[in-house]
Every structure is written in C-alpha cells, then in structure tokens.
A and B are shown apart, each in its own frame.
Chain A
C-alpha cells in the first residue's frame, strides 16, 4: 500500500478527534454491510459479507469424524482463514500466512471458547451423532477477497451468516453396534437440520488513533493506529473473547471503557446482522421456490 504523507496523517487524526472521519462517519458508525448467503452451492453453508470495500467469503463444510477421547460428547470445529493475493499483492505466495494465522487463531479464540470446549459460541454437543463414536466435524473456511480494514469483524460476521445458512444432513444410525465397532450410518439426502446460531457472538474491533478509538477502521486509519482491541460479545451482552493487537500500551481504565463501548455497539451490530442475514436467507429461499 502506498504510504501516507504527514499531511494526510494529520488530516485523518484531526478528523477522528472531531468525530468526523474521512468518509463522513462518526467514530462509532459502521460502513454499509451487505450479506449474501448460499454463495457456494457445494458447501453445507456459505456467506459473503461486504463492509465498505472489505469483502470476505466464509464456507462451512460438515464431514463425519470421530470425537476426541477427551470429549466424547462434543463435535469438532476448525476455523481457517486464507488471505487471497487478489486482495493485496503482498499476500502472494507465503506473504499472507502470518496474517491468516493471526486471524484464524483470533476467530477460534472468540468463537470456540477454551480448550475444554466450555463456553463456546457454537454448541459443540449439537454436533454429536453417536456418543464416543461419530460426530460432525465442521470446517469453516474463509477467504479474504478485498481488504480495506476491519478484517476480523467482517470475518466473524461472515462466519455467523454462513452458520445460519448451514444445513447439516440428518444421520440415521442403522445398526446398533457395541464396544468399539463403528455403527453404520445413513446420511439423509432429504432431511436437514438448520444450525442454531443464536449463541454465536459478533466481534467488535476498536482501533485507537491518537486519543480516541474508532470502530470499523479502513486500512488507511489502521495504518497508523497505536493499538486495537477486538472484543467478541454475544447476544446476552457477555464477553466471549478478547484480543489486543498493536505495540502501544493501554491504560487499564481505557480497556474497561472499550469493553463497555463494545457491549453497547454489539447490540446494534447484532441486530443489523440478524436482519441482513434473515433478508439474505429469505431471498435464497424465494429463489428455490
């Protein structure tokens, strides 16, 4: 990306101080959000989210697998992010690996809870088919097509929409097996179960520029942030995960203030996303009729 001149930097910083950003937004407004679901027909669920010029695609694929020995009553979820070279020339070859890894880990932390699986935004027990033997493995793959800042929020929104679009086939266990035998399974082509996404959180990233923090930063604004805190909040207003990026230290009171701001903003974002997702799903449903 072309660097910013000193004059441009002062302009952006001054604007944020006065609560008017370069595109006219206030410090706490999001860019227009567009959601489209069902964009990848061969996946179990998929969605494409656009926040301003940032565009990401998320897809959910479900495969049958064995649950881990430590948690025989839980399915497994893995989240992968791939930053495409189409978005930024610097992502060519292995250039995007670091950012992809950072985003994948941040998303897993916010959506999947601790190593024991407790507190996960996605209910892992709903993925079990036969306890201890067969469970659903969900692979959530995301692709960043266009990058203009605030990738984490857009990815979380895309994953939420993709999960809302996910239909897991019903599995009928044919033979009752005992001990270590793998029971026979019959995957239904007709019946599907819609995934329950009421507990899936959203991620709000607050970027500190100068003395104020803004939400939904563009890549220009992100390029001279001092630090950024990404907070994942669920429908009940509970914090599901927290990530701080950026070198500069933050006063603890600032962090608490950011958390309360994020909680307040999450209600707006959550309701906006929900209405966009249901509109997208309704559109998809109409096309099928």
Chain B
C-alpha cells in the first residue's frame, strides 16, 4: 500500500515532515488540581492531576520524595471498534508505567516528601500517537496544578514507510507494519527521556528517524509554552493585574 504518493503527500494530505494539527486546552476538569485536553489531529486525550496530597497507602509513602502514580485508560468509544475493557489490559498497564516513569524523572519530587501525585489520563479518541498525546497532556496538567518540574516533557512519534521518514504517525500509518519510534524529550535540557521503537529499521536510518521525532518534540514544546503563557495571561487578567 502506498503511504507516500509520488507527489510526496501522505494519506491525510500531509508532507512527510509535517505534524498533525495541535490543540490544547487547560483546566477542563474543574475538580482536579490541574487538568488539560490535548489533541494531535484526531487523537484526543484528557489528563487530570490530583496532588500533591496525602498518601493513601501508607506502606508506599516515601520520607524523602513524593510518590507519583499514573493510570492510562481508553474510553469504550475511542477506537474504531468498541473496546470492551477500558483498563487493566496489558497495553494500558504498560503505557501507565511509561508515562509514570517519564513524568517522575521530570518532577522535582524531593520538594514534596510524604505526599502523592496522581496523574490520570483518559483517551477520548485514538488515532495513533496516544502515548505521545498523553505525555503532552500530562505535562500541561502538571503545569496547571503548579507542580514544580525540571523541564516540560514533550513527546512525538516518527516512522519509516516507503523509504521516507514520516513525522507523527496516525493509526493507519502506525498499523502499516513499519517502524514506530516514540521519543520523550526535555527541550531546555536537550535530553531524551523516553525512547521506544517497534518493528525493524536499518541501523543508519534509526538516527534519522529519531532526530525527526526530536524535532517534532521541540515544535510541540514551543506550542505548549505558548499555551501556558496565554493561560497565565488569562489568569492575570481575571485577577485584575
């Protein structure tokens, strides 16, 4: 199947190095300490952060740092075919773990000992790149909750089909059987914090595809920073400053 046509356009009309349209909204869930909705094309996820708050399970409490917990769930209607089990399946457990480890590395947990930070991510629409959208949404939600972090964590995926590196794969491109590289990146510190790849890639191509994903992460970081600044302006305006 042709994923990049001779004119260089992909199935949804994008160029190989073009990302899908991004849209973010802060403060979607009123009850949460911090929350955000993040859309990458047709993939839409909502993240809510509760914390820092008292540890619920005393046996897990740590005296010198905060406990970070994460749960990833997909709504029944998020995928094309109905999903019967929204949570508890292996893929959800793995992604919960991945998001938790990525965010934990970035949060300044030593500033909040004996407390717990819960990150809940819910996928409303899945069209490829849910992992990345969840990490981006979690970053925004943590910023909305005012939790101190080393840097913003952004994530983007890239692949390789029809001998072309492609940025930000959607579901069709992801399930095509080519490689799917997901990168989690700290833009200011210029460090890769998450790197996952499936399928096969020639060794000389891996570097290129990873670099493309990192460029995607940097673009997302610029967007997230804009959204946060706009949000702060709104808050200042409402406070009459």
Contacts and interface: CB of A to CB of B under 8 A. Distances in A.
Contact of B120 (A41, A43, A89, A148): A89
A195 B71 CA distance: 36
A43 B31 CA distance: 28
Interface stretch (B75-83, B98-106, B207-215): B75-83
B75 A82 contact: yes
Nearest to A57: B124
Contacts of B87: 93
Contacts of A147: 31
Interface residues of A, number: 28
B35 A86 contact: yes
Given A59-B77, A143-B76, A145-B46, A92 B86 contact: no
Interface residues of B, number: 28
Contact of A146 (B30, B42, B80, B124): B30
Contacts of B125: 40-42
Contact of A40 (B28, B35, B124): B124
A199 to B, nearest CB: 24
B215 to A, nearest CB: 29
A210 B71 CA distance: 39
B120 A84 contact: yes
A54 to B, nearest CB: 9
A263 interface: no
A89 B80 contact: no
A239 interface: no
Q: Which one of B35, B47, B75, B79 has the greatest number of beta carbons of chain A within 10 Å?
A: B75
Interface in B119-142: 120-122, 124-125
B31 A145 contact: no
A85 B123 CA distance: 12
Interface string B21-64: 00000001111100100000010001110100000000000000
A82 B86 contact: yes
A84 B80 contact: no
B30 A141 contact: no
Contact of B118 (A42, A63, A92, A145): A92
Interface string A209-240: 00000000000000000000000000000000
B154 interface: no
Interface in A15-48: 40-43, 46
Contacts of A42: 77, 79-80, 125
Contacts of A59: 76-77
Interface of B: 28-32, 35, 42, 46-48, 50, 71, 73, 75-77, 79-80, 82, 86-88, 118, 120-122, 124-125
Given A46-B77, A146-B30, 19 more contacts: A40-B124, A42-B80, A55-B29, A61-B82, A82-B75, A85-B71, A85-B118, A85-B120, A86-B35, A86-B48, A86-B122, A87-B31, A89-B118, A92-B71, A93-B87, A139-B76, A139-B82, A141-B76, A146-B29
